[in-house]
Chain A
C-alpha cells in the first residue's frame, strides 16, 4: 500500500471499481466448466450433499506438484480465493479438492529482466503495486491492479486470479492487454505454453485453459521509450464496486509528441475485453488532439456490445466507454511525454 499506488488509485477513482464480478475463480480446469453452466460436466454434486466434509485441501510448493494434483478430477486451483469463497457461499457446486497456489515461490514473485517483467500469477496485487519500479513503468496496470477490491482484498487478489475468474469487468485485464501481456501456462503433461492475455478469457466465467492447466506467470515486455499506459473505470461509489466500464490505453510518442503506437482495450462492455483497432488507428499519427480523441472515443463507443444489467445500461456503458477512452488516452499521453525519452 505504497503512497504511489494509493495516489494512482485515487486518480483512477476520480472517474469512478474492484473485485471482479462474481464469476468462477482462478485458473484451472474446474473453473472453465463452472462458469456458464455451473452444473455441466461436474461429478454429481447433489444439493443435499454435505458441503466441505469430503473436501481435500492441498498447498503444493512446486509447479510440478500442483500439476500432479490437478490430474485428479474436479480439482480446483485458487490464489487469493476472493472470488472462490463468495461463489461457494452463493451455492456454486464445490470441487472435490482445493489447491492453494500461494505456497509456490514462483507464483508469488515479481521479477524484472532487461526484456520483461515476470509476475507470479498468485502475487498479491498489494505487493505488485508496492513495487515502485513496476508502478513507474506501468502506472496504468498498477492502477488497475490496485483497484481490485478493498485493502483487505488487495492482500489476496492477483493478476492470475483476476484474469482466470474471467469476469468481463476484471480491472487488470484491459490494462494487461494494452501492455501486450502474456501468460505462461503449466500444462497437464508437465510442460508450459505461452498465450496472450486476451486469449485466456473466452466468455463470462470461461477460459481457454484445458483441464489440468493453470497460469503460472504473467509476462510483460519492458515498456519502450516514451510509452505509458492508463486505466480508468466508472463505478457508482468511489470504492468496493465492480467496473461498469473499464478502459485501458497505452500510447507511444515520438520525440515531437506524435503518437506512434496506441492500444485501447475496453472492459465490461462485452463478454470479454474488447480491443478497439479503430480507436488505436485514430490515435496513431495524432498529437492526441481533440479531433483524434473524438474519433477514438466514438470508435470505442461503437465497439461496445454491452448488456443491460443491475450495474448499468447499454446506453450508459456505450457512452461512458467513449468518455473514458478519451480521458485515459490523455493521461497516457501526458505520462508518455513526461517520460521524455527516458527509456523507462
Chain B
C-alpha cells in the first residue's frame, strides 16, 4: 500500500515521469559542497549585526550611534535615517517599516539599527553601544486584546477594509473577508444536530533549520549583487528595491541553496540592510541571523481564535455552517484570514454558510506565509466539529465526509466550480487501508481529518539550451527547496525522450533567466514545470524543422520519437539530438528556447489523514502510534519527493498540534526563542508516516500535475484533536495539545 515501499513505477505512457532518479544536486548536498545562504565568503567582507527592539511596543524617541561609529573595526552604521521615508501602497509601506523601524517599534525583535564591522564580535559590540531612547507604549498580544474597544492602537490610520458602512475611526482590525451562501437561519432550523465551539491556536514558526542569511556587495558605481537563500530571488529583488528606494534592476540577486522555507523565506529581512551597509561601507557585508533572531523577528504563522457552529441532518448531510475567525497578523496587516476563510469549508458542499475572517494586528512579528497559510487553523475548527457531529449521529468519520465531499462540478464555498478533483479518492484510500481497521486499546484514539488547499499559478519563466554534445541545460528561476531540480529534469527528459541524467537543471540568477515568482503556493512543479515543458516543445519544433530541412521534406513528415527526429515513413535514417546539435552550424545556429507564462489550469489539492494516538492518562503524554496520509498529487513526477512533501507536511502539522507555540511574557517578550523550548518534533517522537499518493490527474496540466507541497499540513491539527477526544473522552479546542493541557482535561473531566 505504501508507495514508499514500492519499487519505482512509471506512470502509464511515460518513460521518465513517475520514476525516482537521484536528484541532480544530491551529490553536493550529501558531501557538504552545496552552498547555502551563510556559506559565502568574499574578499574584504564585513559582518553585519542587527540591533533589535527589546520592547513589544514603543515610540523611538532618539537613536545615538556616535559611540558605535567610533568603535574598533566598525565600517558602517545604519538606522531609519538611511532609508527613504515609506511611500507607495500600504503594503509597500509596511514592508519598509518592518525592514527598519521608523517612528515606533511594533514588536520585540523589530529592527532599530544595524552595524557592519570587520568581525562578528565587533559588529555585535557596536550594535549594543547604540543608544536608543524608547517611550514604552501599551501592547496588545491577542486578537481579543487587539479587538477590545479600548485597545492600544498599533497604527493610527488603520481603517478596517471590507466593512459596510466603512468605519469612521481606526482600529487594529485591518480587514474583514466575507463568504456567504444560502440562508443560515434556515440551515440551522433544518439541522437535526448542531455542534459549536470556540477554537484557539497559538503562533507557530516554520522552524526551517537554516537561519536567514544574506551577503551584499555594492560597487562604487552603484551596481549591487546580493546572495541570499530565499524562496524567490526575483521577489527578494523587488522587495529589497522598494525598501532601498531603488529600481529593481539595480540589484542582481544570486540564489544560494535554501535550507528550508515553508513560506517563511518569501519575504525580506536582512537583504536591504546588508545592501545599505555594503553601500555605506564600500565593502561586501554578510549578515546571518541567530536562531534567537529567527524566532523573534521572522514571520510565524498566525495565532487564531475561531468561533464555529455547524448543523447536520441525521443522515450526515451538512446543511449549515457559521464561522467567525480572527487571525493575528503580527505588527502589520496581512494575516491569511482570507485564505483561511476560503479554505475552511472548501472540501464540502453546504447550502447555507457564513464565513467572516478578520485580519488583526498585534504586537508580534509580522506573520509570514506558512505552508497552506491560514488553512490549518480554520480546518482545525471545521474538522473538529465534523467529528463531533459524526459521533453524535453515530456515523463513521470517513462516511460523513464522503456524504458531503465536493466532486467535479461542485461549486466551492469560495466561488469557483471544481474541475476533476481527487478528494473522494483520498477518503476511499483511507477507508480501504488496513490501518483504518486496526483495533485500538485502552487510552488509544483514532482521529480523521481532511483538508483543502489551492495551487497557485503565478508567473514562471524557463530557458532551455541544448549543448553542442546533445545534453540539455534547463534554467529556471525557482529555488529548489525539496527536489524541484529533479522534477524539472524528469519533465524535460520526458519531452526530449532522452535519459534524465543528460539534463542539467539550473536555478539561474535574476540576470540569467526570465522572471519567476516564488517557490511557494505549491506552484513550482506545476507552473515552472509548465514553462519548462513549453520551452522544450519550442526546441522540439525547431529540431523537427531542422530535420525536415535537412531531409528536404515537409514538416509534417517529421516526428520526434525517443530522442530523435524520425521520418514518418522511415525513409531517412533518424537524426538524434546529438546529430542535430552537432550540425547546428549549418541549420540555424544554437538550439535554445525560452518560455514564460501566467500559469493556468492550476489544480486543487486535497488530503485525508488518520492518526492513532496513545495517551498516558497519568501524565497526558501523547505517543503517536501510527499515521496514514492520502493526498491527491494529480501526477507524481518524482514519487519520492512527492512522498517527502506529504510526510514533511504531516510532521510539521503534528508539531503544531502537540507541542509548538510561541510563549510570551507579560511584557510581550518571547520566552522560548530556541529549539530547546520551541519544541519541533524530533526523530524519536515520530512513527513512520504511511503514505498513499493518490493520482487523479489535473486536467489543466500537460502531465496532470497538482501542487503537493502544502495541503499535507492542513489535516493534522484536527486529526490529533479528534484522536485525543476518542482516547480520553474530552474535546479539546485549544492548541497545542500539550501534556499539561491533556492532563488538565483528564483530571477535570467532570467540570
- Mutual binders A and B: yes
Chain A residues within 8 Å of B, Cβ to Cβ: 13, 15-16, 19, 22, 47-53, 89-90, 234, 236-242, 244, 310-313, 315-316, 319-320, 323-324
- Of A22, A52, A242, A319, the residue contacting B121 (CB under 8 A) is A52
Give Cα A210–Cα B747 distance, bound, in whole angstroms: 45
Instruction: Tell me which residues across on chain B come within 8 A of A237, comparing CB atoms.
Output: 659, 679, 681-682, 684-685
B125 adjacent to chain A (CB < 8 Å): yes
Instruction: Write out the residue numbers on chain B whose beta carbons fall within 8 Å of the beta carbon of A51.
Output: 121, 124-125
Q: List 23 A-B contacts (CB under 8 A).
A: A22-B676, A48-B125, A48-B126, A48-B129, A50-B72, A50-B121, A50-B125, A52-B121, A53-B121, A236-B621, A237-B679, A237-B681, A238-B682, A238-B684, A240-B675, A240-B682, A316-B620, A316-B739, A316-B744, A319-B743, A320-B619, A320-B743, A324-B619
Q: B499 interface residue, CB < 8 Å from A?
A: no
In the assembled complex, B618 has its CB within 8 A of some CB on chain A? yes
Pick the most buried of B122, B126, B658, B679: most chain A CB atoms within 10 A of its CB.
B679
Does B676 contact A242, Cβ atoms closer than 8 Å?
A: yes
**Are A315 and B618 touching (Cβ within 8 A)?**
no
In the assembled complex, the Cα of A89 lies from the Cα of B71 at a distance in Å of: 21
B128 at the interface (CB under 8 A from A): yes
Given A48-B129, A240-B676, A310-B671, the answer on whether A234 and B619 have CB atoms closer than 8 Å is: yes
Report how far A221 CA is from B679 CA in the complex, Å: 38
User: B527 → chain A, closest Cβ, in Å?
Assistant: 37
* Bound CA span A48–B744, Å: 46
In the assembled complex, the CB of B717 is this many whole angstroms from the nearest CB of chain A, namely 17
> Once bound together, how far apart are the Cα atoms of A51 and B129, in whole Å?
13
Closest 6 A/B residue pairs (Cβ): A48-B129, A238-B684, A323-B618, A316-B740, A16-B621, A47-B128
Contacts of B616 in A (CB 8 A): 15-16
Distance from A240 Cβ to chain B, minimum over Cβ atoms (Å): 5
Set A241, A313, A323: member contacting B740, Cβ < 8 A: A313
Asked whether any CB of chain A lies closer than 8 Å to the CB of B663, the reply is yes
The 8 A CB mask of B647-671 against A (1 = contact, 0 = none) is 0000000000011000100000001
B9 at the interface (CB under 8 A from A): no
Q: How far apart are B125's CB and chain A's nearest CB, in angstroms?
A: 5
Chain A residues within an 8 Å CB radius of B676: 19, 22, 240-242
Task: Name A239's contact: one of B121, B290, B682 (CB within 8 Å).
Answer: B682
**A38 nearest CB across to chain B (Å):** 15
The A-contacting residues of B in range 486-544, CB under 8 angstroms, are none
Q: Which residues of B contact A242 (CB under 8 A)?
A: 676-677
B435 at the interface (CB under 8 A from A): no
Q: Which residues of B contact A16 (CB under 8 A)?
A: 616, 619, 621, 739
How many contacts between A and B, using CB within 8 angstroms?
82
A183 to chain B, nearest CB (A): 27
- Assess the B121–A236 pair: CB atoms within 8 A: no
Given contacts A237-B684, A319-B743, 20 further A-B contacts (CB under 8 A): A19-B676, A22-B676, A47-B125, A47-B128, A47-B129, A48-B126, A48-B128, A50-B121, A50-B125, A51-B124, A51-B125, A236-B739, A237-B682, A238-B684, A312-B740, A315-B744, A316-B740, A320-B618, A323-B618, A324-B619
A234 cross-chain contacts in B, Cβ below 8 A: 619, 621, 739
Residue from B122, B290, B659, B685 in contact with A50 in the complex, judged by beta carbons closer than 8 Å: B122
Nearest chain B residue, comparing its CB with the CB of A309: B671
Which residues on A sit within 8 Å (CB–CB) of B407? Answer: none
Nearest A residue to B621 via CB reads A16
A316→B72 CA distance, assembly (Å): 51
Query: Is A311's CB under 8 angstroms from B677's CB?
Result: yes
- Cα A47 to Cα B122 with chains together (Å): 12
Closest B residue by C-beta to A312: B740
Minimal Cβ-Cβ distance residue in B for A52? B121
* A244→B743 CA distance, assembly (Å): 14
How many Å lie between the Cα of A237 and that of B685 in the bound state? 6
- Please, how many angstroms separate the alpha-carbon atoms of A40 and B659 in the complex? 36
Q: Mark B730-751, 1 if CB is under 8 A from A, else 0.
A: 0000000011100110010000
Q: CB-CB < 8 A to B619: which residues of A? A: 15-16, 234, 320, 323-324
Contacts of A315 in B (CB 8 A): 744
In the bound complex, residues from chain A placing their C-beta under 8 Å from that of B411 are none
For B49-85 the 0/1 string (1 means CB < 8 A from A) is 0000000000000000001000110000000000000
